[in-house]
Amino acid sequence: MEKDTGYLVYDLLPTGKENAISTKELMHLTGCNSPRLLCKLIERERENVVICSSTSGGYYKPANKVELREFERTLNDRAMGILHSLKSARRALREFDGQQKLEAN
């Protein structure tokens, strides 16, 4: 039996990707009434503990370095995608700002 850490979601999670618990089941266990609320709760806890997630929507504690590395890679890829989107949005804003200045003259 694992020690209670005081985290609502983390303490409910099984260890190992093969044992991942679904969003629906985790919502039931935590009393969250929406997936969005559950995600916010998980986001807060992830500041202090590792809560892995799978593409099938399940959550779990990593059982080993391989699972942790896989999750790290997924987060990194997601972050890089967001950064690329941010670059194009900033570029569009600069172009928009330049057009506004030309129109004002």
Do residues 78 and 98 both lie within one domain?
A: yes
Same domain, 88 and 59: no
- Look up tokens 């039996």; give the residue: 1
Question: Lowest-confidence range among 31-35, 54-58, 79-83?
Answer: 54-58
Q: Edge-to-edge strand order for the sheet containing 58-60? A: 21-22, 58-60, 52-53
**Do 57 and 70 share a structural domain?**
no
Q: Are residues 46 and 22 in the same domain?
A: yes
In tens, the pLDDT along 40-53 reads 999 999 999 999 99
* Together in a domain, 38 and 21: yes
Domain span at residue 15 reads 1-63
Question: Long-range pairs for 42-47 at CB < 8 Å and ≥24 separation?
Answer: 42/9, 45/7, 45/8, 45/9, 45/10
The model scores a pTM over 0.85: no
Token pair of 89, please? 């949005």
Q: What is the pLDDT of residues 16-36, one digit of tens each?
A: 999 999 999 999 999 999 999
Domain match, 72 and 55 both: no
Out of 1-5, 14-18, 34-38, 57-61, which region has the weakest mean confidence (pLDDT)? 1-5
